[in-house]
Structure 1
Amino acid sequence: MIKSFDSEIAVLIVIFIRPEQTRMLLNELEKVKPKRLYVVCDGPRSESDTLLSNEVKKMFEELSWDCEVRTNYRKENIGPGKCVSEGISWFFENEEMGIIFEDDILPSEDFFPFVSEMLKKYKDVDRIGNISGCNYQDGVKRGDGSYYFSALTHAWGWATWRRVWQDYRFDLKDQSEKIDFKNNKSYRPFRFYWQNILKMMLNGEINTWDYQFAFLNLIKGRVSVVPNSNLVSNIGFNVSTTSYTNAKHPLASKQTLGSMKENIQPSVMEVNVDADIYEQKNELGNPGFLNFYVKKNKDLLYQLIKGEK
């Protein structure tokens, strides 16, 4: 049987201007009652942002359970890339390990005990860099356990440790030469796509923080733990966001929350390359994915995914 959630494990929430989605997330957190919440919010871009972000912030002053709340609210808007990454760094200055949500992520109840157990189990295993709540395998079970290992890094409802995040760099210029897509079996079929994503990041064309985390884990040879059930749902595609509003994103329709009643360890700690290729083929080949993340060079990236360049 899967163990219960350890409420001593801290949770970080990145909020902004989505009161409805934040309330739904807090309703799920209320069920497990974590004892420490960290809250990060970027500064407003407009008067409307101010009103909405104040509405969201007030929710954390009125929690229904006994909880220590620490806040990191920006006065000026610095953008999602720096706000989120610096907020996570602040979180791990205070915590050895923890769970991270953005405000458009809705976890299932089984997410919490699963992640709690994995954080403890792999706390000192350097090869594990990330615990994911996401599963993009469309019901296909991978391996012989309740979870499998992936070379990809998933950041929609996830958890990690200070030992991993301490190597994170928002600016990849001093690390870019160490990123090797060609010799990683999971990335190799899509290496031209990823090389161009890296180039666009270095040129400042993509404002995000999670690609850097994925590339850090690639450099370090770390892998992710991925449940064989999808334990989170992204509920933010049809609302105003700091990224691109796009209901055609290939993962926007994955609203069904999976369950995990037992936790069986895989017999081997090997990356499931078939799962990683399946995920990338389905996700990267969907026009909605690039429209969501990338403003420029979309046509080139489509060609790279199809192997035309």
Structure 2
Amino acid sequence: MEVAVSALASNELAAQTPLFVFSDGARNPEEQRKVDQVRQQAKNIAGFKSLTVVERSENMGLAASIIDGVSHLCEQYGQVIVLEDDLITSPDFLRFMNQGLRLYADNSKVASIHGYAYPVAEGNIPESYFLRGADCWGWATWARAWQHFESDGAKLLKLLHDRGLAAEFDHGGAAYFLRILSDQVERKNNSWAIRWHASAYLADMLTLYPRTSLVANCGFDGSGTHSGSNRVYETLVGSAPQELKPIDVVENEFMKAKVADFLRKITKPNEHSSNKVVRISIRIAGDALRKLRSLRNRPR
């Protein structure tokens, strides 16, 4: 967590940003010491406008803790920036998030602003672009968009099939997002992120991405609680333009094709088991999170 906090504190808007840390309760007495250590570490965080540490008295579990935290801050402030504790951010991350939140605050087609960008091949990539659905590696949203979140995975799965969107949701077979959602319904995983993605996708909403990734995940070195060792999504953090320019709120077909090609190359046809699917698609499954850190910064 130290590296992630240090990187975030280096953002030019950190001193203007209230920081909220949500700490889930221990699962058992043996885990309490580690939880206490993390909470003490969190209370010593400096460099932000304010610090609030929310200590859960009980273990809510991964998904419930995240959903509750995002819902609480959206209700209280109308918008939220969300980070996991193993994400390393660019110094431009908060600026990109805040500019995106301001630019698209009143556009009902936009679900979220995202900091991570797929490591696709170079070539005519725009400064920013929209893709359908939502994402989970350094993101921001508004209360108006989060209200579309549906926690019932079975309902989401049925709607995808009923509307004939199942194949499209999987990028034409390039990804296994539908399988991850099915596994969530069957309680083989408890991914909140696949439900957030499906919720936004079914609402025909879009997420804004930067040209170069403003987020890197350090959890794929095996240190993450659920991430394991998988480096296919590795990327170096880059920079964002000083001023984010508004673009047409439509899915970028060029980038959609490039992302599908990337997913197709890294997702081998014979990797059908639930564990492998969850591991290779961990970016959208979002299971690397043990604690939710939520940031809120008022538009200026």
Same topology, TM > 0.5 = yes
Deviating 4+ runs (over 4 angstroms): 183-188
1:217 corresponding residue in structure 2 = 200
2:132 corresponding residue in structure 1 = 151
The equivalent position to 1:176 in structure 2, one of 136, 140, 157, is 157
TM (normalized to structure 2)? 0.78
Distance 1:192 1:282 in 2: 10
TM (normalized to structure 1)? 0.76
Change (3 A) 1:141 1:130: farther
Distance 1:87 1:273 in 2: 33
Q: Is 1:89 paired with 2:71?
A: yes
1:165 corresponding residue in structure 2 = 146
**What letter corresponds to residue 148 of structure 2 in structure 1?**
D
Change (3 A) 1:244 1:66: closer
Q: Does the CA-based 8 Å contact 1:151-1:186 persist in structure 2?
A: no
SS across alignment from 2:91: coil
* Percentage of matched positions with identical amino acids: 22
1:259 corresponding residue in structure 2 = 239
CA drift of 1:236 comes to: 1.4
SS across alignment from 2:189: coil
Structure 2 regions of 5+ residues with no counterpart?
Answer: 282-300
Q: Is 1:226 paired with 2:206?
A: no
Distance 1:226 1:275 in 2: 10
Distance 1:287 1:47 in 2: 39
2:266 corresponding residue in structure 1 = 286
Q: Does the CA-based 8 Å contact 1:142-1:275 persist in structure 2?
A: no
Note the 1:64-79 alignment, pairs <5 A: 64-65=46-47, 67-79=49-61
2:298 corresponding residue in structure 1 = none
Distance 1:260 1:192 in 2: 28
Distance 1:49 1:30 in 2: 36
The equivalent position to 2:178 in structure 1, one of 163, 188, 195, is 195
CA drift of 1:267 comes to: 5.2
**Can you list the C-alpha shifts for 1:186-218, whole angstroms capped at 9, x where unaligned?**
745128834333322211112111001100111
Q: Does the CA-based 8 Å contact 2:109-2:206 persist in structure 1?
A: yes
SS across alignment from 1:154: coil
**What letter corresponds to residue 143 of structure 2 in structure 1?**
R
Q: Does the CA-based 8 Å contact 2:170-2:176 persist in structure 1?
A: no
Structure 1 regions of 5+ residues with no counterpart?
Answer: 1-18, 302-309
Q: Does the CA-based 8 Å contact 2:114-2:208 persist in structure 1?
A: yes
**What letter corresponds to residue 214 of structure 1 in structure 2?**
H
SS across alignment from 1:136: coil
